[in-house]
Amino acid sequence: MKEYHLGIEATLEILGGKWKGLIICNLMSGKKRTSELQRSIPGISQKVLIQQLRELERDGMIGRQVYNQMPPKVEYYITEYGTTANGIIDVMCSWGRANIAIRQQQGEEVMLLENNPDDE
């Protein structure tokens, strides 16, 4: 039996790490192919992306649609269960924007590259 001391442990088990939140955030706008996800997440390797996608799929957060064609085509999407994380992702994005603004006010050279906060 798996035991958690705090609920956040269960959350971080599924959403924790550098890439999973970014993957989910990107999929919130609709289905994406692996190559589209990789282009939209600078710095992630294909190997790590595939690993993270498999883990999110295993945990029921995302689904995978495989098309029987040549060359093979695979699209990933947020599942109904995965959409339950929207609130968490939105709060994390808002907190991140506020954190960047505070750090800028304190003189730190940090910049947010997103074009539109409503895209998150």
User: pLDDT of 68-99, one tens digit each?
Assistant: 888 889 999 999 999 999 899 889 889 999 99
At 70 the pLDDT is 86
**For range 22-49, the mean pLDDT:** 94
Cα 24 to Cα 19: distance, rounded to the nearest angstrom = 9
At 115 the pLDDT is 54
Q: What percent of the chain has pLDDT over 90?
A: 72
* DSSP per-residue string spanning 43-111: T--HHHHHHHHHHHHHTTSEEEEEE-SSS-EEEEEE-TTGGGGHHHHHHHHHHHHHHHHHHHHTT----
At 120 the pLDDT is 43
Q: Is the dihedral of CA 108, 88, 54, 8 positive or negative?
A: positive
